[in-house]
Structure 1
Amino acid sequence: MKINKTALLAILAFNIGTTSATEYIYRDLMANTLPNPGCVAEQQAIASATKPYNVKNYSKKFCQSQGYGWHVDAVKDEGKPVCNDCGTANNGNKQCHLEDVVVTCKRIKPGSVGMLPGRS
């Protein structure tokens, strides 16, 4: 039993010194969301456009549009709602979207993780 404890302590001591040296590349993006489908009353359209689900989904899409490996790090600004009239036939109903949504995206810096040939 004493050997097992000693082996465990040796393994723990060896792993304590190792740290993750992962480096990231960060990029801030500003974009607009798409208008919600259909025409509804202005308050309802604004509520639909500013749902946390929509902000999260569009933020994810903004980062993924940068290419492979880009992920959302943080949403810095959720933007402001902007509404457009649907026309005179819709009795003042509107479609709304968010403008100037600012998202910070991150990606693992190439070469910072993994084994590279010729390096120790």
Structure 2
Amino acid sequence: MAKRILICDDAAFMRMMIKDILTKNGYEIAGEAENGAKAVEKYNETKPDLVMMDITMPEMDGIQALKKIKAMDPASNVIMCSAMGQQAMVIESIQTGAKDFIVKPFQADRVLEAVKKAIG
């Protein structure tokens, strides 16, 4: 059975890019969210194998959403995505329990390497 992934990014273009990389490599998209609050909601609804989470988003940022998801499901797998220059946030997200982080703009092989490392 294909691994199910929830994509969370406020930029529709970024969600589309990630979705494209993942579906071409046999992963199933469990859902999409445009902010952290929606990501937490969708995580509860879909129970995905992995969440790809942007750090900087409106309403609730990725780190707050990561904390909420980890509180609900300590076994959750989350990979954070960030633009350059967000080192402090990247460190905080790893300390909060993110499995990995990917720097934008995405390289397909780096996305797949992170996903394979997190959920096999």
Which of the pair is proportionally richer in strand? Answer: 1
Whether these two folds match at TM > 0.5 is no
Normalising to structure 2: TM-score of the pair? 0.20
Structure label with greater radius of gyration: 1
Which of the pair is proportionally richer in helix? Answer: 2
Normalising to structure 1: TM-score of the pair? 0.20
